[in-house]
Amino acid sequence: MNPILVFDIETIPDIAGLRALHELDAQVGDTEVAEMAFQLRRQKTGSDFLPHHLQRVAAISCVLREGDNFKVWSLGEPGEDEGSIIKRFFDGIDKYTPQLVSWNGSGFDLPVLHYRGLIHGVQCARYWDLGEDDREFKWNNYISRYHTRHLDLMDLLAMYTGRANAPLDELAKLIGFPGKLGMDGSKVWEAYQQGKLAEIRNYCETDVVNTWLVFARFQMMRGQFSKARYQQEIELVRAELGKLDQPHWREFLAAWPEQKI
Please state the pTM of the whole predicted model: 0.95
Query: Given this model, what pLDDT does residue 259 score?
Result: 80
Q: Going residue by residue through the chain (261 aa), what tens digit of pLDDT does each one get?
A: 689 999 999 999 999 999 999 999 888 999 999 999 999 999 999 999 999 999 999 999 999 999 999 999 999 998 899 999 999 999 999 999 999 999 999 999 999 999 999 999 999 999 999 999 999 999 999 999 999 999 999 999 999 999 999 999 999 999 999 999 878 778 899 999 999 999 999 999 999 999 999 999 999 999 999 999 999 999 999 999 999 999 999 999 999 998 877
Contacts of residue 46, Cβ cutoff 8 Å, sequence gap at least 6: none
Query: Given this model, what pLDDT does residue 194 score?
Result: 95
Query: Given this model, what pLDDT does residue 1 score?
Result: 67
Query: Given this model, what pLDDT does residue 209 score?
Result: 98
Query: Given this model, what pLDDT does residue 261 score?
Result: 78
Q: What architecture (CATH level 2) is domain 4-254?
A: 2-Layer Sandwich (3.30)
Domain ranges of the chain: 4-254
